[in-house]
Amino acid sequence: MCLGVPGKIISRNDNSAVADINGNQVKVSVALTPEAEVGKYVLIHAGFAMQIIDEHIARETMNYVLELQRLGEAYEN
């Protein structure tokens, strides 16, 4: 199963950018989304920004990811 996570572009140069994913800064390639600008939300998979997404969708998706993490932690305990 593949999982893409939302991130917000916080800096950008030619084909790479730094994205904030829930407070973590990661370097991503924007070669597939050259129109991604600082302040935009993107769906990130395997180090690539795959598509630009709406901020509301990005926040909702991250809430689901965090809920799955909490459920996994509760299951382990």
Tell me, what's the pLDDT at 1? 59
CATH number of the domain to which 9 belongs? 2.30.30.140
SS3 content of the chain, % helix, strand, coil (to 5): 30, 40, 30
How many domains, in total, are found in the chain? 1
The model's pLDDT over 13-44, given as tens digits with 9 standing for 90+, comes to 999 999 999 999 999 999 999 999 999 999 99
* Cα distance between residue 1 and residue 18, in whole Å: 25
Q: Which two tokens stand for residue 48?
A: 């690539």
User: Strand runs (DSSP E) across 1-77, as ranges?
Assistant: 5-12, 16-21, 24-29, 41-45, 48-53
Average pLDDT, the chain: 94
Q: Which domain holds residue 67?
A: 5-76
Residue 62's pLDDT band, with cuts at 50, 70 and 90, is: very high
**Prediction pTM value:** 0.86
